[in-house]
Amino acid sequence: MRMKPFLPLLAALALAADAQATDLLQVYRAALGHDAQYAAARATRAAGLEKLPQGRAGLLPTVGLTANTTWNDMESTARTSPPVTRGADFNSNGWSVTLSQPLFRWQNWVGYRQAGLSVALAELQFAQAGQDLILRVTQAYFDVLLAQETLATAQAQKAAIAQQLELAKKSFEVGTATITDTHEAQARHDLALAAEIAAENDLAVKRQALRTLTGAAPAALRGLRSGVRIDAPQPADIG
Protein backbone atom coordinates (compact mmCIF):
# COMPACT_ATOMS: atom_id res chain seq x y z
CA MET A 1 0.00 0.00 0.00
CA ARG A 2 1.55 3.24 -1.16
CA MET A 3 1.13 6.40 0.88
CA LYS A 4 3.54 8.55 -1.10
CA PRO A 5 0.99 11.18 -2.26
CA PHE A 6 -0.11 11.75 1.32
CA LEU A 7 3.28 12.00 3.03
CA PRO A 8 3.80 15.76 2.46
CA LEU A 9 0.32 16.43 3.78
CA LEU A 10 0.86 14.31 6.88
CA ALA A 11 4.22 15.94 7.54
CA ALA A 12 2.83 19.44 7.15
CA LEU A 13 0.04 18.74 9.59
CA ALA A 14 2.39 17.11 12.07
CA LEU A 15 4.51 20.27 12.15
CA ALA A 16 1.63 22.69 12.67
CA ALA A 17 1.91 25.14 15.52
CA ASP A 18 -0.61 23.81 18.05
CA ALA A 19 1.20 21.06 19.93
CA GLN A 20 -1.92 20.13 21.93
CA ALA A 21 -4.13 19.54 18.88
CA THR A 22 -4.53 16.17 17.17
CA ASP A 23 -2.94 15.87 13.74
CA LEU A 24 -4.02 13.86 10.72
CA LEU A 25 -1.48 11.09 11.33
CA GLN A 26 -2.82 10.52 14.85
CA VAL A 27 -6.37 10.42 13.54
CA TYR A 28 -5.32 7.92 10.86
CA ARG A 29 -3.66 5.66 13.43
CA ALA A 30 -6.80 5.75 15.56
CA ALA A 31 -8.91 4.81 12.54
CA LEU A 32 -6.64 1.83 11.80
CA GLY A 33 -7.71 0.23 15.05
CA HIS A 34 -11.36 1.28 15.06
CA ASP A 35 -12.84 1.58 11.58
CA ALA A 36 -15.29 -1.26 10.91
CA GLN A 37 -14.67 -1.41 7.15
CA TYR A 38 -10.91 -1.71 7.59
CA ALA A 39 -11.35 -4.35 10.31
CA ALA A 40 -13.55 -6.39 7.97
CA ALA A 41 -10.93 -6.10 5.22
CA ARG A 42 -8.24 -7.25 7.64
CA ALA A 43 -10.31 -10.31 8.61
CA THR A 44 -10.97 -11.13 4.95
CA ARG A 45 -7.25 -10.91 4.22
CA ALA A 46 -6.42 -13.25 7.12
CA ALA A 47 -8.96 -15.78 5.84
CA GLY A 48 -7.52 -15.51 2.33
CA LEU A 49 -3.97 -16.11 3.54
CA GLU A 50 -5.06 -19.39 5.13
CA LYS A 51 -5.92 -20.81 1.72
CA LEU A 52 -2.29 -21.06 0.59
CA PRO A 53 -1.10 -23.57 3.24
CA GLN A 54 -4.35 -25.47 2.72
CA GLY A 55 -3.68 -25.69 -1.00
CA ARG A 56 -0.03 -26.62 -0.43
CA ALA A 57 -1.09 -29.47 1.85
CA GLY A 58 -2.62 -31.25 -1.14
CA LEU A 59 0.83 -31.53 -2.75
CA LEU A 60 2.64 -32.88 0.30
CA PRO A 61 3.15 -36.56 1.14
CA THR A 62 0.69 -38.22 3.50
CA VAL A 63 1.93 -40.05 6.56
CA GLY A 64 -0.09 -42.73 8.32
CA LEU A 65 0.62 -44.22 11.72
CA THR A 66 -1.08 -47.42 12.85
CA ALA A 67 -0.72 -49.00 16.28
CA ASN A 68 -2.37 -52.05 17.83
CA THR A 69 -2.27 -54.08 21.01
CA THR A 70 -3.62 -57.57 21.68
CA TRP A 71 -4.26 -59.19 25.04
CA ASN A 72 -3.29 -62.90 25.05
CA ASP A 73 -4.69 -65.35 27.63
CA MET A 74 -3.23 -68.82 27.08
CA GLU A 75 -3.83 -72.05 29.02
CA SER A 76 -2.37 -75.53 28.43
CA THR A 77 -2.85 -78.90 30.15
CA ALA A 78 -0.10 -81.52 30.20
CA ARG A 79 -1.15 -85.14 29.70
CA THR A 80 0.31 -86.41 32.89
CA SER A 81 -1.09 -88.30 35.80
CA PRO A 82 -2.46 -86.31 37.36
CA PRO A 83 -2.87 -83.68 34.55
CA VAL A 84 -1.02 -80.37 35.05
CA THR A 85 -2.58 -77.11 33.81
CA ARG A 86 -0.46 -74.05 33.09
CA GLY A 87 -1.53 -70.49 32.05
CA ALA A 88 0.18 -67.38 30.58
CA ASP A 89 -1.13 -63.82 30.12
CA PHE A 90 0.69 -61.24 27.98
CA ASN A 91 0.24 -58.31 25.53
CA SER A 92 1.23 -58.28 21.86
CA ASN A 93 1.97 -54.75 20.56
CA GLY A 94 2.61 -53.60 17.04
CA TRP A 95 2.85 -50.40 15.02
CA SER A 96 3.51 -49.30 11.47
CA VAL A 97 4.22 -46.06 9.60
CA THR A 98 3.25 -45.50 5.98
CA LEU A 99 4.41 -42.67 3.72
CA SER A 100 2.73 -42.06 0.37
CA GLN A 101 3.52 -39.44 -2.26
CA PRO A 102 1.47 -39.51 -5.48
CA LEU A 103 3.51 -38.65 -8.54
CA PHE A 104 1.00 -36.06 -9.75
CA ARG A 105 -2.50 -34.99 -8.78
CA TRP A 106 -3.91 -32.50 -11.25
CA GLN A 107 -6.81 -31.42 -9.05
CA ASN A 108 -4.45 -30.76 -6.13
CA TRP A 109 -2.13 -28.72 -8.32
CA VAL A 110 -5.07 -26.68 -9.62
CA GLY A 111 -6.22 -26.14 -6.03
CA TYR A 112 -2.76 -24.91 -5.07
CA ARG A 113 -2.64 -22.44 -7.97
CA GLN A 114 -6.12 -21.18 -7.11
CA ALA A 115 -5.03 -20.73 -3.50
CA GLY A 116 -2.13 -18.57 -4.68
CA LEU A 117 -4.49 -16.42 -6.72
CA SER A 118 -6.83 -16.11 -3.73
CA VAL A 119 -3.95 -14.88 -1.57
CA ALA A 120 -2.92 -12.31 -4.19
CA LEU A 121 -6.52 -11.10 -4.44
CA ALA A 122 -6.83 -10.87 -0.65
CA GLU A 123 -3.64 -8.79 -0.47
CA LEU A 124 -4.85 -6.49 -3.25
CA GLN A 125 -8.25 -5.97 -1.63
CA PHE A 126 -6.60 -5.24 1.71
CA ALA A 127 -4.29 -2.68 0.10
CA GLN A 128 -7.28 -1.04 -1.54
CA ALA A 129 -9.06 -0.95 1.81
CA GLY A 130 -6.03 0.80 3.28
CA GLN A 131 -6.07 3.42 0.53
CA ASP A 132 -9.79 3.89 1.01
CA LEU A 133 -9.28 4.40 4.74
CA ILE A 134 -6.66 7.10 4.07
CA LEU A 135 -9.06 8.92 1.77
CA ARG A 136 -11.99 8.65 4.16
CA VAL A 137 -9.92 9.81 7.15
CA THR A 138 -8.45 12.71 5.19
CA GLN A 139 -11.89 13.74 3.94
CA ALA A 140 -13.42 13.59 7.42
CA TYR A 141 -10.45 15.45 8.94
CA PHE A 142 -10.62 18.37 6.54
CA ASP A 143 -14.41 18.41 6.65
CA VAL A 144 -14.13 19.16 10.36
CA LEU A 145 -11.47 21.84 9.79
CA LEU A 146 -13.60 23.48 7.09
CA ALA A 147 -16.72 23.32 9.26
CA GLN A 148 -14.79 24.96 12.10
CA GLU A 149 -13.64 27.76 9.81
CA THR A 150 -17.16 28.21 8.47
CA LEU A 151 -18.54 28.48 12.01
CA ALA A 152 -15.85 30.97 13.01
CA THR A 153 -16.67 33.09 9.96
CA ALA A 154 -20.40 32.94 10.71
CA GLN A 155 -19.79 33.96 14.31
CA ALA A 156 -17.61 36.89 13.24
CA GLN A 157 -20.20 38.03 10.72
CA LYS A 158 -22.98 37.80 13.31
CA ALA A 159 -20.93 39.84 15.78
CA ALA A 160 -20.29 42.54 13.17
CA ILE A 161 -23.95 42.65 12.14
CA ALA A 162 -24.99 42.79 15.80
CA GLN A 163 -22.92 45.95 16.15
CA GLN A 164 -24.56 47.38 13.03
CA LEU A 165 -27.99 46.55 14.48
CA GLU A 166 -27.17 48.23 17.76
CA LEU A 167 -25.93 51.30 15.89
CA ALA A 168 -29.09 51.40 13.75
CA LYS A 169 -31.27 51.27 16.86
CA LYS A 170 -29.38 54.12 18.49
CA SER A 171 -29.47 56.15 15.27
CA PHE A 172 -33.23 55.67 15.08
CA GLU A 173 -33.61 56.81 18.69
CA VAL A 174 -31.80 60.07 17.97
CA GLY A 175 -33.55 60.55 14.65
CA THR A 176 -30.60 60.04 12.31
CA ALA A 177 -31.96 56.76 10.84
CA THR A 178 -35.37 55.50 9.79
CA ILE A 179 -37.27 52.50 11.14
CA THR A 180 -36.63 50.83 7.79
CA ASP A 181 -32.88 50.97 8.47
CA THR A 182 -33.47 49.27 11.81
CA HIS A 183 -35.65 46.56 10.26
CA GLU A 184 -33.08 45.86 7.58
CA ALA A 185 -30.33 45.59 10.17
CA GLN A 186 -32.51 43.23 12.22
CA ALA A 187 -33.17 41.08 9.14
CA ARG A 188 -29.44 40.84 8.42
CA HIS A 189 -28.85 39.87 12.04
CA ASP A 190 -31.52 37.15 11.87
CA LEU A 191 -29.92 35.75 8.73
CA ALA A 192 -26.50 35.80 10.38
CA LEU A 193 -27.92 33.98 13.40
CA ALA A 194 -29.47 31.34 11.15
CA ALA A 195 -26.15 30.92 9.34
CA GLU A 196 -24.38 30.46 12.67
CA ILE A 197 -26.86 27.79 13.78
CA ALA A 198 -26.50 25.98 10.43
CA ALA A 199 -22.70 26.09 10.77
CA GLU A 200 -22.91 24.68 14.30
CA ASN A 201 -25.11 21.82 13.12
CA ASP A 202 -22.82 21.09 10.18
CA LEU A 203 -19.79 20.99 12.48
CA ALA A 204 -21.60 18.53 14.76
CA VAL A 205 -22.33 16.27 11.77
CA LYS A 206 -18.73 16.42 10.54
CA ARG A 207 -17.34 15.67 14.00
CA GLN A 208 -19.66 12.69 14.31
CA ALA A 209 -18.40 11.36 10.97
CA LEU A 210 -14.85 11.59 12.30
CA ARG A 211 -15.90 9.89 15.54
CA THR A 212 -17.36 7.00 13.53
CA LEU A 213 -13.96 6.43 11.93
CA THR A 214 -11.78 6.79 15.03
CA GLY A 215 -14.00 6.07 18.00
CA ALA A 216 -13.48 9.56 19.46
CA ALA A 217 -13.67 13.11 18.18
CA PRO A 218 -10.65 15.10 19.40
CA ALA A 219 -11.30 18.45 21.04
CA ALA A 220 -9.04 20.24 18.56
CA LEU A 221 -7.54 19.34 15.20
CA ARG A 222 -4.22 20.61 13.95
CA GLY A 223 -4.38 22.66 10.77
CA LEU A 224 -1.79 23.29 8.08
CA ARG A 225 1.03 25.70 8.75
CA SER A 226 0.82 28.86 6.72
CA GLY A 227 3.07 28.89 3.66
CA VAL A 228 3.18 25.10 3.25
CA ARG A 229 3.09 24.00 -0.41
CA ILE A 230 1.54 20.63 -1.13
CA ASP A 231 2.33 19.19 -4.55
CA ALA A 232 -0.53 17.49 -6.35
CA PRO A 233 0.00 13.71 -6.60
CA GLN A 234 1.00 12.36 -9.97
CA PRO A 235 -1.16 9.63 -11.51
CA ALA A 236 1.81 7.25 -11.44
CA ASP A 237 2.09 7.66 -7.67
CA ILE A 238 -1.48 6.67 -6.92
CA GLY A 239 -2.37 3.04 -6.43
What is the DSSP code string of 87-150?
EEEEEEEEEEEEEE--S--HHHHHHHHHHHHHHHHHHHHHHHHHHHHHHHHHHHHHHHHHHHHH
- pLDDT number for residue 173: 87
Q: How confident is the model at residue 159, as a pLDDT?
A: 95
Give the pLDDT of residue 116.
78
How far apart CA 12 and CA 5 sit, in angstroms, is 13
Residue 49 pLDDT: 77
Q: What is the pLDDT of residue 122?
A: 84
Q: Say what the pLDDT of residue 13 is.
A: 47
- Architecture in CATH of 4-58+106-219: Up-down Bundle (1.20)
Task: Tell me what pLDDT residue 225 has.
Answer: 63
CA of residue 131 relative to chain centroid, distance: 10
Q: What is the pLDDT of residue 181?
A: 86
Q: What is the pLDDT of residue 102?
A: 64
Distance CA 51, CA 43 (A): 13
Q: Which residues of the chain have pLDDT under 70?
A: 1-19, 52-65, 67, 71-106, 108-112, 224-239
Residues of the chain with CATH 1.20.1600.10: 4-58+106-219
